[in-house]
Amino acid sequence: MNQFEFYSPTKVLFGKGVETKVGAEIKAWGGSRVLVHFGGESARKSGLLDRVEASLNAAGIAFVTLGGVVPNPRLGLVKEGIELCRRENVDFILAVGGGSVIDSAKGIALGVKYDGDVWDLYDGISEPTGSLPTANIVTLAAAGSETSEHTVLTNENGAIKRGYGHPLCRPKFTLMDPELTYTLPPYQTACGITDIMMHTLDRYFSPGGCNEMTDRIAEEVLKTVIQFGKVAMKDPTNYDARSEIMWAGSLSHNDLTGLGRIGDWAPHQLEHELSGYYDVSHGAGLAAVWGAWARYVYKADIMRFARYGVNVFGLALNYKNPEETALQAICATEEYFSSIGMPITITELIGKKIPDEVIAEIAEKCTFFGRRTIGGLVVLDKPKIVDIYTAAR
Amino acid sequence: MNQFEFYSPTKVLFGKGVETKVGAEIKAWGGSRVLVHFGGESARKSGLLDRVEASLNAAGIAFVTLGGVVPNPRLGLVKEGIELCRRENVDFILAVGGGSVIDSAKGIALGVKYDGDVWDLYDGISEPTGSLPTANIVTLAAAGSETSEHTVLTNENGAIKRGYGHPLCRPKFTLMDPELTYTLPPYQTACGITDIMMHTLDRYFSPGGCNEMTDRIAEEVLKTVIQFGKVAMKDPTNYDARSEIMWAGSLSHNDLTGLGRIGDWAPHQLEHELSGYYDVSHGAGLAAVWGAWARYVYKADIMRFARYGVNVFGLALNYKNPEETALQAICATEEYFSSIGMPITITELIGKKIPDEVIAEIAEKCTFFGRRTIGGLVVLDKPKIVDIYTAAR
């Protein structure tokens, strides 16, 4: 095991009906005036928000609400939330939703304690000065944001999507009721499955020495999501499947599957530009670029791709030609994505051929306008990024 | 996944030389007057305590020291530590050692904030009223106490050993440098390997439905410890082996390998009485009773013991007679224990035949003098406990 730090202090309450404990938990964490942050009206129509508000009332906790979070959550709503929290003296933020809502809540929580424009943090030009405590009720197994230190926002001004990570962003607690994910449409379920897989894959395919304990947990997270993902696609109210996927989703992004490794994250960064530009689902965008990325970089560590094929997909290792197994593993991943209805090219993702000039534009954005390269297994500059987008076309 | 709570907030710093960060970390956690708690003089002779004290001095942190913790740590020293902390206005406790030192530190930390006799907590007749913050520098991969909420003490008055668990007992941070375990004698290394395995086995063999994510992590923890345990026994300064064992040791007892399951813990409780009475090593005591326990209970879930054999030891499942595979799995475990020099009978453990009257006495203690049964896979009362001790003889 290489050097690492691991800090995942978020308390998890998991199982049927845990959302009814939210009032008591917030009280135990010292919250007294809460912002309840959510997405669309489905949270109200399903009765979930009513149950949440009943639990808050029962605990004697005051609250205000702010809905309207959309996929690829927007900076504009975050700024609205910051103003609302300051005006209402909010001291605790509860996100009710999936990764977009949780990420938006984290942005608000940072922004309330920050004097300048909260985008400075996402843009990497400033440091946070505190955060309101946050917690969440998860309604979508995907982002893993419920236990992670990460948040991703889109700045409408320029359609720029940026991820940010800081220990201050770790939620105090998360309430995970797998039954809340029963009503997800198949496409969203599949996007979630892909996102979960990619949080581990982007850690797994990276430079690193002997980190067996980490690699083995990573492989089991992948196998579990792949197996139960198939079940959930066919049988959306299968509790076993929904619950295994949901817990795997948290483990996949609480850092456990990457300890001792550096993390590559190029596929995530390639995708952020796609969904920032075309406003597509993050999970679908990941599926659309991963294969092209993998074929571009696999020669940097053929045996790792081969191991992945053997341990995750049960392929037989070709000892005479492990490269064949490595390529089979990439195919197996794409076949799995296709089998759950995910696109494996950008054309499938956006429904048309991506123009050369858009590739040039998002490749430029992906380098932060020339301020960075991406990737670790292979370091990618703008020409290489253009190559991969083109290959994924 | 069944209902569960998971809360493992301890920050982990892992790798070569991390112990030199102790001063800065304690300062960041708000400590200013520290009790440095340790075991024998080896911590001084090895230079470790000097490095720790230099780091504390560099951070401007005052400290007092209390050594003398022995395996199966004693209530008497804990009480001495409580007095010392109160007298010196200590606000943070640093354990430098293995599970015994960490457990003793947790006992002191609880006791400083408790008005009565701290043994009340271990005896289950009272609730804690707070705890000083603790942290640790781990020198022995075994107990997993570095990230767990558990502490075990022995009350010299009656040779009673009791475990206690409470969220207040979670250390704030742990510094894990695998090189600090290079000098452990082979017997202690083997006891640690066994203890790590048993923290997962006591969770794995228990009642429970579909908890695949948990079970798969449990199996990988076991496989990793078994594989690298063999390496460390032959090559004590093998960094890969020592580091994999050390990290597996924490994961094995931070609750991750039992989420959604109830936990059986009968082997641990059977062992506590043995080491409480004979003052033997905990790991060795576990190896001595596990086989007899497993043969006594395996019929309650034959397929689970068979799965264990297949997934952990690579046995072929006998589809016509899975019981054969289950029994082979128990044998494989005992063979592994023997291969690393652990006893697999009580006679091997204590060097003589355990008398019937001692069995009767410790079986009575094991039921808390008639106040409890133990175990979950099979519930064990005093006659059954006597049967297992006798079978393990």
For the domain that residue A70 is a member of, what is the CATH number?
3.40.50.1970
Least confident piece of the model among A155-159, A211-215, B275-279:
A155-159
Asked if the structure places residue A1 within a domain, the reply is: no
pLDDT digits (tens, 9 = 90+) for A163-197: 999 999 999 999 999 999 999 999 999 999 999 99
Is the minimum CB–CB distance between B11 and chain A shorter than 8 Å? yes
Which of B248, B243, B222, B249 has the alpha carbon at shortest distance from B333? B222
pLDDT at res. A207: 87
Asked if the structure places residue B1 within a domain, the reply is: no
Q: Tokens in use for A191?
A: 């996007």
Asked if the structure places residue B6 within a domain, the reply is: no
- Residue tagged 């196998």 (tokens): A223
Q: With contacts defined as CB-CB under 8 Å, which chain A residues touch B7?
A: 11-12
Interface of B with A in 107-136 (CB under 8 A): none
- Residues of chain A with pLDDT > 90: what percent? 95
Interface of B with A in 221-240 (CB under 8 A): 221, 223-224, 227-228, 240
pLDDT at res. B159: 75
For residue B241, give how far its alpha carbon lies from the nearest alpha carbon of chain A (Å): 9
Asked if the structure places residue B267 within a domain, the reply is: yes
Which of B145, B180, B215 is the C-terminal boundary of a domain?
Answer: B180
Based on the domain organization, do A353 and A231 belong to the same domain? yes
Least confident piece of the model among A82-96, A118-132, B153-167:
B153-167
Q: In this complex, do A4 and B16 lie within 8 Å of one another by their Cβ atoms?
A: no
Q: With contacts defined as CB-CB under 8 Å, which chain A residues touch B251?
A: 213
Asked if the structure places residue B368 within a domain, the reply is: yes
- Residues of chain B with pLDDT > 70: what percent? 100
The answer to whether the CB of B380 falls within 8 A of the CB of B299 is no
Based on the domain organization, do A220 and A258 belong to the same domain? yes
Based on the domain organization, do A47 and A111 belong to the same domain? yes
The answer to whether the CB of B104 falls within 8 A of the CB of B71 is no
Based on the domain organization, do A170 and A137 belong to the same domain? yes
- Residues of chain B with pLDDT > 90: what percent? 95
Q: How many independent structural domains does chain B possess?
A: 2
Based on the domain organization, do A152 and A300 belong to the same domain? no
Based on the domain organization, do A315 and A386 belong to the same domain? yes
- Amino acid present at A310: V
Based on the domain organization, do B52 and B200 belong to the same domain? no
- Amino acid present at A68: G
H or E element in which residue B161 lies: strand B160-165
What number of H helices and E strands is found in chain B? 16, 9
Based on the domain organization, do B172 and B229 belong to the same domain? no
Based on the domain organization, do A145 and A226 belong to the same domain? no
Asked if the structure places residue B215 within a domain, the reply is: yes
To 5 degrees, how large is the angle CA B32–CA B37–CA B40? Answer: 150
Based on the domain organization, do A162 and A235 belong to the same domain? no
Asked if the structure places residue B347 within a domain, the reply is: yes
Please name the member of A1, A247, A260 whose beta carbon is closest to the beta carbon of B1: A247
For residue B105, give how far its alpha carbon lies from the nearest alpha carbon of chain A (Å): 21
Query: Which residues on adjacent β-strands are paired with residue A92?
Result: A34
Which of B130, B147, B180 is the C-terminal boundary of a domain?
Answer: B180
Asked if the structure places residue B4 within a domain, the reply is: no
Based on the domain organization, do B134 and B208 belong to the same domain? no
pLDDT digits (tens, 9 = 90+) for A270-302: 999 999 899 899 999 999 999 999 999 999 999
Mean pLDDT of A366-376: 95
pLDDT digits (tens, 9 = 90+) for B359-378: 999 999 999 999 999 999 99
pLDDT at res. B276: 86
DSSP secondary structure letter of residue B179 = G
Q: In this complex, do A8 and B8 lie within 8 Å of one another by their Cβ atoms?
A: yes
The answer to whether the CB of A217 falls within 8 A of the CB of A257 is yes
pLDDT at res. A350: 97
Mean pLDDT of A17-40: 97
For the question of an ipTM over 0.90, the answer is yes
Q: In this complex, do A216 and B224 lie within 8 Å of one another by their Cβ atoms?
A: yes
Please name the member of A14, A213, A259 whose beta carbon is closest to the beta carbon of B224: A213
- The CATH number of the domain holding residue A307 is 1.20.1090.10
Mean pLDDT of A242-266: 96
pLDDT digits (tens, 9 = 90+) for B29-75: 999 999 999 999 889 999 999 999 999 999 999 999 999 999 889 99
pLDDT digits (tens, 9 = 90+) for A3-13: 999 999 999 99
Based on the domain organization, do B329 and B310 belong to the same domain? yes
| B157 pLDDT tier (thresholds 50, 70, 90) | confident
Report d(CA A292, CA A231) in Å as an integer. Answer: 27
Which of A122, A146, A180 is the C-terminal boundary of a domain?
Answer: A180
Ramachandran class of B20: left when φ > 0, alpha when ψ lies in -120 to 50, beta otherwise: alpha
Range of the structural domain that residue A169 is part of: 11-180
Q: Tokens in use for B369?
A: 């003098």
